[in-house]
Structure 1
Amino acid sequence: MTQQDFIDLYEKYMSGKCTSDEIKLLEAYRDNFQLRDLPWSAGMGNKQEVRQEILNKLNSGIIPSKKKSF
């Protein structure tokens, strides 16, 4: 699977349009995925904008827990 194939499949997964076979493929690939410390390139977009978008998505998925009073 190429990097672009992975990106396309991941975007399809995030939009909820993956088949069960595609999800299995994505999970299998993810298990073999190794992060590399590669330099940021212009083709990846604006680094600060991408960082903020990732943080926004992470924060929107966090569900605050109810505080327990004692």
Structure 2
Amino acid sequence: MSVRTVERWLAAGGEPEHRQRPAASVLVDPFRDYLEKRWEEGERRGSQLWTEVKLCGFEGSEVTIYR
């Protein structure tokens, strides 16, 4: 951590609060059955799977689907 970072935190009254991203499983769980079905059907392209669940309301990134 740089000295400048600490100086900014002190000037602001302390360390800033950080929002944590939701865990990947929380994002994927509602779509897990669909993704597993598509996987069993032979779809292995993460980009295609991401596109499909994105249309159904998935809010995570393509990388989350790859994982």
Give the TM-score normalised by the residue count of structure 1.
0.24
Q: Which of these two proteins has the greater Rg computed from alpha carbons?
A: 2
TM-score w.r.t. the length of structure 2 is: 0.25
> Which structure exhibits the higher relative contact order, with contacts defined as CA atoms closer than 8 Å and separated by 6 or more residues?
2
